[in-house]
Amino acid sequence: MTSATLQDRVVLLTGATGDIGAAYTCALTAAGANVIAADLPQCAEDGKRLAEKATAQGPGTAVFTPCDITDDNDVNTVVGQATDRFGGLDAVVNNAAVYRTLGPKRPLTELTAQDWDTVLRVNVRGTWQVIRAAVPALRERGGGRIVNIASVVTRTGAAGFAHYVASKAAVEGLTRAAARELGQYGIGVNAVSPGLVDDAASRAINDPDYLGRMQQTRCLAREMAPDDLVGAVLWLASPASGFVSGQTVVVDGGGVFV
Please identify every residue annotated as catalytic: 164
Sign of CA dihedral 178, 181, 182, 188: positive
Strand, helix or coil for residue 185 = helix
CA distances from residue 167 to 101, 158, 171, 174 in whole angstroms, order as listed: 15, 12, 6, 10
- Distance of alpha carbon 121 from alpha carbon 90, whole angstroms: 26
Identify residue 82 by its one-letter amino acid code: A
Fill in the DSSP letter of residue 121. Answer: I
Q: How much is the CA Rg of the chain, to the nearest whole Å?
A: 17
Strand, helix or coil for residue 35 = strand
CA-wise closest residue to 14 among 151, 169, 127 = 127
| 187-194 and 62-66 beta bridge pairing | unpaired
What dihedral angle (degrees, nearest 10) is formed by the CA atoms of 4, 6, 9, 11? 100
